[in-house]
Amino acid sequence: MSVEILLTGANGQVGWEVERRAATHGVKVRALARNELDISDRAAVKHTIAEHAPKVVINAAAYTAVDKAESEKDLAFAVNRDGAAHVAEACAASGASLIHFSTDYVFDGAKSGPYVETDPVNPVSVYGASKLAGEDAIRTAAPRHIILRTAWVYGVHGHNFVKTMLRLGRERPELRVVDDQRGCPTFAGDLADAALALARRALAGSMTEGGYGTFHCVGSGEVTWCGFTRKIIGLAGTRLGQTPKITAITTADYPTPARRPANSVLDSTKLARVHGLTLRPWPEALAEMLDTVLDGEQHK
């Protein structure tokens, strides 16, 4: 039974959006959640991809608990390194193209400006190291791959920073948020649209040789976590029920199990140059997401 696109991790933030947006891109997706396919199970991955014979696999399955990974290293690597390798090997065996999501956390944050794809990698957390190991496994096993490095992903579905700030903004009079880490907030829906646009090209056989490889894919613009929070609360407005005070703090004021890069701003110029794809400015995408979430609550 051949399918156009096989999607793993269908219940995650990005996978959920890929499944729901596929029809608008004119493609058919067979979506598999973790309970249907655990990518850390090599035999299951091999069997599933051979059975469905997809032309493209979008691998949205991942272990994404950054802090928890510090104490669950084996599990993080089982999914993010070994799972990615299993999918890549099965894609190579079946002739499928692979689209895979990676992270800004492959970098250490020491660079002063935005990171480009060729900058040296040096993860400072278990999560970042596990995702980098997955990238390396894919490059080794699957010649026709696209690795989309993204960052600060949030969406309508699942747990994420935006939803956490909305909840805390209702519960607390003050939000203390780190202001010395910079990055690029990325709406899961926009990321899904980019992946589906690339999948369409792979399906049509119109991918040039330079079309495969590693690309940075993030919302346009950059901000700190504190600046991001100010925008979230500001755009939510009266729909939040109150307006909490937002106080900037340092990373040292808020210790976490995992180290995070001070600068994880990614430059997406290559994606625009090669594929003509540019994600929206992050405040525009955030406003759309908040309208969906908050207006949906009001109509319940």
Catalytic residue ranges: 127
- In 53-187, which ranges are continuous DSSP H helix? 73-77, 84-94, 126-141, 161-171
What 3-state class would DSSP assign to 78? helix
**Residue for token pair 């056989």:** 205
C-alpha count within 13 angstroms, C-beta hemisphere, residue 114? 20
Partners of 186 in the β-ladder: 153
Question: What is the per-residue burial (b if ≥16 Cβ within 10 Å, else e) of 177-200?
Answer: bbbebbbbbbbbbbbbbbbbebbb
Rounded to whole angstroms, how far apart are CA atoms 163 and 170?
11
**Residue for token pair 């029920």:** 241
Rounded to whole angstroms, how far apart are CA atoms 118 and 215?
10
Cα 29 from chain centre: 19
Nearest to 217 by CA among 66, 101, 126: 101
Nearest to 215 by CA among 119, 116, 143, 90: 116
- Give 210: exposed, middle or buried? Use CB within 10 Å, 0-12, 13-18, 19+: exposed
Helix, strand, coil distribution of the chain in percent, nearest 5: 45, 15, 35
